[in-house]
Structure 1
Amino acid sequence: MFIFHKDTILEDLGNGVTRRILAHDGKMMAVEVNFAAGAVGPMHNHPHEQLTYVLSGEFEFTIGEETRVVSAGDTLYKRPGIMHGCGLPAARHAARYLYSHSRRFS
């Protein structure tokens, strides 16, 4: 299956965050997420594991009790049920990451 970026839908999640569901088949999905400077992705968890790959810029990511700055080329793994979230301080430029997990969200 081929999915072309031009055929995906950009969703505005509010507060400077947008996403595109790039591909999904009911068992696995890939999502591109864009953050404007100052945007925040609130802490949350879900029942599936998740991989995140930073495409551009820098994020301040929290996974569980640990907070680290990650940048383009870095990868994060989040086990099922762990609290996680990220922010993009206003002093930083816009940033983008890709994540994939084994279940489609609602």
Structure 2
Amino acid sequence: MFVHNALIPMEDLGDGIRRKVLAHSDNMMSVEVYFEKGAIGAMHSHPHEQLTYVLSGVFEFTIGNEKRVVKAGDTMYKEPEIEHGCVCIDEGVLIDTFTPMRRDFCKYPI
């Protein structure tokens, strides 16, 4: 499956956060998430495994009881059901990969 980024609509999530749902199947999903400086990814959990790659920017991430500052090139793993969230210190983009895919992110059934 080829996905051309320029053809994917940007979804405004409010409060300085936007996203694009990229390629996905029932087993996995890739998502770009854009953060303005100061935007907050609220603490939450879900039953999916998640990898987050910092494409650009600087973020303070909390995963479980651990808090760290991460920047472009860093990657984080989030096990299922672990509480996690972030604060954007310097405007940036995250690439999230989920397994299985996040049906709640899709506007249309696959």
TM over 0.5: yes
Q: How many angstroms apart in 2 are the aligned matches of 1:88 and 1:44?
A: 16
List structure 1 segments (4+ residues) > 6 angstroms apart after TM superposition. none
**Residue 96 (str. 1) matches residue 93 (str. 2):** yes
Q: Gapped runs of 5+ residues in structure 2?
A: 105-110
The within-5 A match list for 1:76-91 is 76-89=76-89
Q: How many angstroms apart in 2 are the aligned matches of 1:25 and 1:80?
A: 18
Deviation at 1:95, TM superposition (A): 0.8
- 2:92 maps to amino acid: A
2:22 corresponding residue in structure 1: 22
Deviation at 1:26, TM superposition (A): 2.1
Q: How many angstroms apart in 2 are the aligned matches of 1:52 and 1:15?
A: 20
TM-score by length of 1: 0.93
Deviation at 1:104, TM superposition (A): 2.0
The within-5 A match list for 1:31-50 is 31-50=31-50
Contact between 1:27 and 1:104, CA under 8 Å: does it hold in 2?
A: no
Give the paired residue count: 103
Q: Gapped runs of 5+ residues in structure 1?
A: none
Q: How many angstroms apart in 1 are the aligned matches of 2:85 and 2:103?
A: 16
- 1:105 maps to amino acid: R
User: Share of identical aligned residues, percent?
Assistant: 54
Partner of 1:95, secondary structure, is: strand
1:13 corresponding residue in structure 2: 13
Contact between 1:40 and 1:88, CA under 8 Å: does it hold in 2?
A: yes
Deviation at 1:7, TM superposition (A): 1.3
Q: How many angstroms apart in 1 are the aligned matches of 2:84 and 2:95?
A: 15
Q: How many angstroms apart in 1 are the aligned matches of 2:26 and 2:8?
A: 17
Q: How many angstroms apart in 1 are the aligned matches of 2:24 and 2:73?
A: 23
Q: CA RMSD in A?
A: 0.9
